[in-house]
Chains A and B, each alone.
Chain A
Amino acid sequence: GNSVTQMEGPVTLSEEAFLTINCTYTATGYPSLFWYVQYPGEGLQLLLKATKADDKGSNKGFEATYRKETTSFHLEKGSVQVSDSAVYFCALSDHSSASKIIFGSGTRLSIRP
């Protein structure tokens, strides 16, 4: 079945450091891929998405590229801020099941001032 694997946390970085959170997926067909973010005390929010191979999703300085050849969707940001501290979830949606989302285990990111 479909699944998402992402790097375990927690990840702790200093402000302005470069961030990469790895995510790989297993799916039949051509899923859509997502990164969700959960800030402390809040619900999950969609951070960015990509719906087909080679698409790049971007938002708030974060980027991720849909790589079909490596079945990956790694999240990157060039210079993190303290306000980026949150839990990040990689996810996919199988188009055969409208709106159903399969999540990775989440990666907690902490940024030091």
Chain B
Amino acid sequence: GAVVSQHPSRVICKSGTSVKIECRSLDFQATTMFWYRQFPKQSLMLMATSNEGSKATYEQGVEKDKFLINHASLTLSTLTVTSAHPEDSSFYICSAVPTSGGFYEQYFGPGTRLTVT
């Protein structure tokens, strides 16, 4: 089946530093990937839509200069949290839409737990 990986699965960083999270589609190509954020006991909040070869589209209220998204290939999208602060601590999840797939196909990664100290 279609598999999406995320790396790292957990990361702890100090306040003020930047952290990069990778999202890879392992056995399919994905023109579109999504980045979500999940707070404890809350729903997944869509942060941005990442399209290969073009700029990401951010949801209202998401700071594009803080959450940098790069989708440089059909199998890799990265999310960089710049100048991280404790309030950025969260669970970040990506999903990938197969280029050749149907409208409702979307495969999710296992998530990355970010803790900013």
Give residues in A with beta carbon < 8 Å to B. 4, 32, 34, 36, 41-46, 49, 51, 89, 93, 98-106
Contacts and interface: CB of A to CB of B under 8 A. Distances in A.
7 shortest interchain CB distances as A-B pairs: A43-B108, A44-B108, A105-B43, A103-B43, A103-B44, A43-B110, A43-B109
A104 B41 CA distance: 10
B97 A104 contact: no
Interface stretch (B11-19, B72-80, B82-90, B99-107): B99-107
Nearest to B39: A105
A1 to B, nearest CB: 10
B102 to A, nearest CB: 10
Interface string B22-51: 000000000010101000011110100100
A93 B91 CA distance: 22
Category for how many chain B residues contact A: 20 to 34
Contact of B103 (A45, A98, A103): A98
A105 to B, nearest CB: 4
A100 B43 contact: no
B21 interface: no
B37 to A, nearest CB: 11
B24 to A, nearest CB: 12
Given A89-B44, A106-B43, A99 B107 contact: no
B4 A43 contact: yes
Given A43-B93, A44-B93, A105-B43, A99 B110 contact: no
B104 A46 contact: yes
Contacts of B46: 100-102
A25 to B, nearest CB: 12
Contacts of B93: 43-44
Contacts of B44: 89, 103
A63 B80 CA distance: 39
